[in-house]
Structure 1
Amino acid sequence: MSTRYSGRRLSPVRLVVLLAVVAALISGLVYAYSWTRDALGSRGDAHWFSAYVDVTATPTYTFEAATEPHQKIATLGFVVASSPTTCEASWGTYYSLDGADGDLDLTRRIARLTRAGGDVIVSLGGAANSELALVCDSVADLQAQYRSVVDTYSLETLDFDIEGTALDDTAANQRRAEAVAALQQERAAAGDDPLKVWVTLPVSADGLPASAVAVVTAFLDAGVDLAGVNAMTMDFGGGDAAKNQADVAIAALRRTHDQLVAIYADRGESLGDREAWARIGATPMIGQNDVVSEVFSLDNARALNEFATEVGLGRMSMWSANRDRTCSDAYADVSVVSDSCSGVEQDGESFGAILAKGFTSSGDAPSPTPSASASATARADQVVDDPSTSPYPVWAEESSYPQGTRIVWRRNVYEAKWWTQGDQPDDPTVAASDTPWRLIGPVLEGESPSPEATLPADFFPTWDAATVYEEGDEVMLDGGAYRARWWTQGDNPVSGQVNPGTSPWEKLTSAEITKLLKTEG
């Protein structure tokens, strides 16, 4: 039986239309794939936020106590040469990598953050001191120092902050590039996870200066797999200082984008528009900049974030987490840059939260370790401390602890914020502002009791009952060192430690003694 459509064929016109529709669909799929690839970057990198933390600044910023999503990744700065002539990694020349563990408890604090699902990046260089490539004479020695930093903190990402005189040192730039390339190749040969490398560079409204472009090309020519270029959108100076800082930053980023595309094109690699944006970061200096007339406001942060999320910027940061708060009334001249406040009225808002909006809070952050997950489900009262594997004495209810004393309780290290006795370190009924204890981080695998630092018997004068002592005077007695808290005469420093809260004498902690010995040495 025949039907109405039996044997019917497409007319030439309909065939052309059908082919056009199919072609359009294929083109759309290809475009969608290309856009997605560009949006994610060629290696599928996340678009992430991480504020810089000045590790050696005082007061100490407790990056390990992250409470907000935008605080989950911390970029810690800065690792530099220990002196202008010594090829040894240090934190700001103040602490060796080992010394930072003793004085700053840095590894423990990092462990606390990572076990909570966060992550850290370490930045090398910065505006002050000497980046290691300026001091280490050979590529092999430089590679060894970079390796020590990566291994000490189990890093997946390094950030190189190259500015100032370091930009123009061609030999140092070449050594750095070759050392980083060799380290990446070494890790690949060992089957380790790839080491991601960002380079942080100054910019103007015209983009990267020629010296900064040279740093990027040195990395690429040496074979470094460069994750991206982070533009320091700050301290523009000149006529740009008084302009809208978001507008100047955006202009700088647009020009940097064009430069990066051109740099890769010169090497035969074509970057799509979105892919290029995914390899660029922005780091404004929040609030008052070093240039008095230059202020990066909360509204500037909102505008920069809107632009960054629209184009698919790969990284957003800020200098610095230490400064993300309103200065107190006691800080009279806010035009003078502070390490610990922004210099602008924030009205309870956070620059970090504004800039991080739309970015992942933990790009490539590891999941909590199995041991951490297990301890989280265990009853707290079932955790037993072993003095032989504890770096500090185990807390005891009957003992008294002066300010700065560190103890171990339920496999965590705490530090006394003021003199305390009988206050359980992890008492869940006490508010954070009221507890005398600050949680530093977990006891680490393989730890043992830290040796108690002591001073030579004649380091300070021996205490004498007849002598009048003023605030700040220091004495020795029975092997201990003590400092007068106020005027005193006849008050025995040793017996006074039974109730040190009322004693005119405070006993120097092991950490204070260690610093005194270093200074004397």
Structure 2
Amino acid sequence: MRFSRTKAALVAALPAAVFLATPSAADAAGPAFPAHYAAPYLQVTDADAGQMAADMNATGTKFFTLAFLTPQSGCTPVWEANGTGVGSFNSQISALQAAGGNVIPSFGGAAGGELAQTCTNTSSLTAAYANVVNTYGTTRLDFDIEGGVLDDTTSNQRRNSALAALQQQNPAVQVDYTLAVDPTGLPSKELDLLRDAKSKGVKVSVVNLMVMDFYDGQPVLTDALAAARASASQLASLYGISTSAAYAMMGLTPIAGRNDDGAQFSQSDAQQLESFAASNGVAELSFWELQDYDRATGYAYSRIFNAITGGTTPPPATGGTITGYGGKCVDVAGASTANGTTVDLYTCNGTAAQQWTSVSGTFRALGKCLDVAAAGTANGTKVQLYDCNGTGAQQWSRSGSQLINPASGKCLDATGPSSADGTPLQIWTCTGAANQSWTVH
């Protein structure tokens, strides 16, 4: 996964002599990971380590993947975006563990290389990995192997030998591999890496698929689901297990929002991916990345993906109707989830396009919010479906039977007035008329 240019600039500004924080061995390992969990990536620095606590307080997310440990030289890893060594962020991690959470330190990434490339003695490499486990009180390590690192067969074999030795020393250690994937499944080099790990006796707990940056012009969600299905078959074949067991060792990691190829992975897409993961028993949901992508949404992606932890269901899966003029239901036209879809009146039919959940002052259907187009305030401004973004254009308050958008001071209104199927909704000066009267069920 990618490395923030902003954070790269911050690291470049650090003194040449990198400060290595003094590690202190944890008294005991932090809480174990459940069978199914969300663990979003945080490109961790001193400035944003507090995002773990902020996200946990906002969404209940308690597990985080910390990126990235890369080689400074020899067998000494540093946190890539911070330039500091193992032992950094101990206070934040300990607080998270005390609250029932834990972290997955991730080695490698798209830019900085992986420790097995510079630490050429297998025993020393094993010790370096063990130091991370002991210092942070976690028994789970992630290895994001891509680009030129994937082509380095010697270091890949060395890493797998070191990890096998680590698991012999400490059988509690769980190893995850984060790998690129195509809609047709894992490419040959990624499969070769897993085959070598298997041959050396590494017990891989999760194969985390980077379902992002497909560069094929197709919707990210479509490619992600195809990649997951194809990879499940590959993992079942590689490990001699059932397809359901293959899903149980799978992780799925999209980018929260805009991909490098310009494709968008929306909050609605996240809802659908979480539903797919939950129904198929996928072990892990993650995304790139907490500080630079999800924070601005109010941690929306964390909230959606955390539904898989403990097997809970996202709130939009339940809801009720909103009825109005002529007894018709507030309806998402064509049951479309595209941003800008008209919200209209339609004969009540019990479909998901007419199920609305009230969440923090918003009304949500199909994973998106009831929205005043372009945050308009003029009479006649269209009401539509749009990605939830926390703005005033998506806030609604009840006053008697009226639904008022406080940002505009206008009421939800059936145009015309008409009760015909397909009548679009708008905002209009509140008049108390029947076409502005709504019942939320």
TM-score when scaled to structure 2? Answer: 0.60
Residue of structure 1 aligned with 2:233, choices 235, 254, 258: 258
What is the CA distance between 1:70 and its match in structure 2?
4.3
In 2, Cα distance between equivalents of 1:349 and 1:69: 7
> Is residue 46 from structure 1 mapped to residue 35 from structure 2 by the alignment?
yes
Corresponding position of 1:202: 180
Contact 1:72 1:361 in 2 (8 A): no
SS at structure 1 position matched to 2:186: coil
In 2, Cα distance between equivalents of 1:114 and 1:274: 30
Corresponding position of 2:276: 307
Residue of structure 2 aligned with 1:359, choices 306, 309, 312: 309
TM-aligned CA distance change 1:92 to 1:208, over 3 Å: same
What is the CA distance between 1:314 and its match in structure 2?
1.1
What is the CA distance between 1:69 and its match in structure 2?
4.6
What is the CA distance between 1:355 and its match in structure 2?
2.1
What is the CA distance between 1:56 and its match in structure 2?
2.8
What is the CA distance between 1:307 and its match in structure 2?
1.1
- Counterpart amino acid of 1:277? Y
Contact 2:46 2:82 in 1 (8 A): no
**Unaligned 5+ residue runs, structure 1?**
1-43, 189-193, 266-270, 326-339, 363-521
Corresponding position of 1:280: 250
How many pairs does the alignment contain? 280
Corresponding position of 2:120: 137
In 2, Cα distance between equivalents of 1:213 and 1:310: 25
Contact 1:281 1:315 in 2 (8 A): yes
Contact 2:70 2:114 in 1 (8 A): yes
TM-aligned CA distance change 1:202 to 1:352, over 3 Å: same
Corresponding position of 1:30: none
Q: How does 1:454-493 map to 2 (within 5 A)?
A: none
SS at structure 2 position matched to 1:71: coil
What is the CA distance between 1:244 and its match in structure 2?
1.8
Corresponding position of 2:110: 127
Corresponding position of 2:136: 153
What is the CA distance between 1:47 and its match in structure 2?
1.1
TM-aligned CA distance change 1:235 to 1:58, over 3 Å: farther
What is the CA distance between 1:140 and its match in structure 2?
1.0
**Unaligned 5+ residue runs, structure 2?**
1-32, 313-441
TM-score when scaled to structure 1? Answer: 0.51
Contact 1:80 1:93 in 2 (8 A): no
Corresponding position of 1:95: 83
What is the CA distance between 1:135 and its match in structure 2?
1.0
Identity %: 35
Contact 2:164 2:202 in 1 (8 A): yes
SS at structure 2 position matched to 1:360: helix
> Is residue 231 from structure 1 mapped to residue 209 from structure 2 by the alignment?
yes
Contact 2:140 2:175 in 1 (8 A): yes
Corresponding position of 2:14: none
Residue of structure 2 aligned with 1:316, choices 285, 305, 308: 285
In 2, Cα distance between equivalents of 1:287 and 1:302: 13
- Counterpart amino acid of 2:220? Q
SS at structure 2 position matched to 1:200: strand
Corresponding position of 1:444: none
> Is residue 295 from structure 1 mapped to residue 264 from structure 2 by the alignment?
yes
In 2, Cα distance between equivalents of 1:131 and 1:108: 25
Q: How does 1:178-189 map to 2 (within 5 A)?
A: 178-188=161-171
SS at structure 1 position matched to 2:67: strand
Contact 1:73 1:361 in 2 (8 A): no
Contact 2:50 2:92 in 1 (8 A): no
Contact 1:230 1:315 in 2 (8 A): yes
Q: How does 1:333-352 map to 2 (within 5 A)?
A: 341=296, 346=297, 350-352=300-302
In 1, Cα distance between equivalents of 2:273 and 2:311: 18
Contact 1:51 1:75 in 2 (8 A): yes
In 2, Cα distance between equivalents of 1:70 and 1:160: 25
Residue of structure 1 aligned with 2:220, choices 230, 245, 248: 245
TM-aligned CA distance change 1:185 to 1:57, over 3 Å: same
In 1, Cα distance between equivalents of 2:58 and 2:303: 8
TM-aligned CA distance change 1:115 to 1:45, over 3 Å: closer
- Counterpart amino acid of 1:235? D
Contact 1:75 1:123 in 2 (8 A): yes
What is the CA distance between 1:275 and its match in structure 2?
1.1
Contact 2:59 2:299 in 1 (8 A): no
